[in-house]
Structure 1
Amino acid sequence: MNHLAHALLSGADDGWRLGGLLGDFVRGRIDPRLPLPVQRGIAQHRAIDVYTDNHAEIRAMRARFQPPYRRYAGILIDVWFDHLLARDFATWTHIPLHQFSDDLVQLLHRHDALLPQSLRRFRAYLQAHDLPAAYADRRMIGEVLGAVGTRLTRANPLAEGMLEIARLEQDLDLAFARFFPDLQAFAGAWQD
């Protein structure tokens, strides 16, 4: 899953949510000096990624992507699923999308001292593009995919990824509708 999903699945606790956002920006052993809720949020983020990658709906969808997109299907699915989550945000939570999005950026500002430089740069990107709220706009998804593609070391087709997403859009939408409730249950069990 991508940033919006990780933040939502982290629940209402600021520490867990911060950890959910940090999960893409820290590698290796979780720093024991971090506050315990942040550590748990990072661990949950990693567990969500493993669960997602191994879920039958996701494995089946990855197999539907044509070369050269298949190699990047995980990224394409993650970003598209954040679009679907943002587009129908009221289905999944009572918090308005723009409020949730603004709160995330403010959370990152409040905890600036805990952020690696890469997440500080990403925070600036979020603010400049009104993300994650703007994930609801499908045009923004094309821009996001292009931006992700520029951060990868090898040449890739991500900038044109919306072509493959459009081909599979109906199936992706159905897969998300079947998958996301399972993921919510999985993430919720982490906080019990």
Structure 2
Amino acid sequence: MNYLAHAYLSFHQPELITGNLIADYVKGQHQLEQYSPGIQQGIRIHRAIDAFTDQHPVTSQAKTFFRASCGLYSGVFTDVVYDHFLATDTTRFSEDSLYDFAAEVYDVITGQSDTLPADFLRMFSYMKEFNWLFNYRHNDGIERAFRGLSSRAQHLKSSPAIVFAVFLEHYEALRGCYQAFFPELQAYVENLLQNENR
């Protein structure tokens, strides 16, 4: 999953938000142990979310729409698409509440910035400046995200415009994948947290 989903599945708990967002920048047990137990839990939850998502048959179905244009990167683009449908899911966010949630996440991370990985903070500065979490709601925000992904994907053969056209062409089918998948993911994470916190 992408950044909005990881933040959302931290359930407004600051340490979980922090761990969930920095997890890809924390390598090895030594780096993990530098953080508080709550942030470590967020990192573990992030990794569990990614594993559950990657292995889910609905995600496999969603990836098929992008495979011809994205190849091995189909999962990365699917993650961003899931964030779009989470951002537009009216059972979870209104436009105002998404804006407020994004601001909450930025405040949490900014308050911890002295202890977070430098590579993450460089990325986070762009996330906050351009309000990625909120702008996943809009198609032009997704188009910008696709351009950013394409610039970092060295072996991507298709242009971001082609990938974005695939997103638009299969919009309703991809929305259906999100609607089938995300409630299962949320239930999985809630169960993990309940078991860990016993």
Would you say same fold, with TM above 0.5? yes
Superposition misfits of 4+ residues, deviation over 4 angstroms: none
Determine whether 1:13 maps to 2:13: yes
Structure 1, unpaired ranges of 5+: none
1:45-100 Cα deviation digits (max 9, x unpaired):
00100000011101122234342323221011110111111112x41268811111
Deviation sequence 1:88-124 (CA, Å, 0-9, x none): 2x41268811111011111111001221112111221
Is 1:31–2:32 an aligned residue pair? yes
Q: Does the 8 Å CA contact 1:61/1:172 hold for their aligned counterparts?
A: yes
Q: Is the 8 A contact 2:87 2:93 kept in 1?
A: no
| Residue type of the alignment partner of 2:164 | M
- The aligned residue for residue 92 of structure 2 is 92
Unmatched tracts of structure 2, length 5 or more: none
Q: Does 1:167 align with 2:169?
A: yes
The separation in 1 between residues aligned to 2:18 and 2:76, in whole angstroms, is: 21
1:4 is aligned to: 4
Identify the structure with the greater helix proportion. Answer: 2
Cross-structure match for 2:57: 56
Structure 2 match to 1:83: 84
Counterpart of 1:176, as a letter, is: Y
Aligned to 1:114: 115
Which of 155, 163, 180 matches 2:182?
180
Distance in 2, matches of 1:93 and 1:86, equals 7
Rounded Cα–Cα distance in structure 2 between residues aligned with 1:18 and 1:156: 34
Alpha carbons 1:62, 1:70 under 8 Å: kept: no
The residue identity in structure 1 corresponding to 2:184 is D
TM-score normalised to structure 1 length: 0.92
Aligned-residue sequence identity (percent) comes to 27
Work out the CA distance in 2 between the residues paired with 1:140 and 1:31: 32
What residue in structure 2 maps to residue 127 of structure 1?
128
Q: Determine the C-alpha separation between the residues in 2 that align with 1:173 and 1:49.
A: 19
Q: 2:27 and 2:159 mapped to 1: Cα distance?
A: 24
TM-score between both structures, scaled by the size of structure 2: 0.89
CA RMSD of aligned residues (A): 1.8
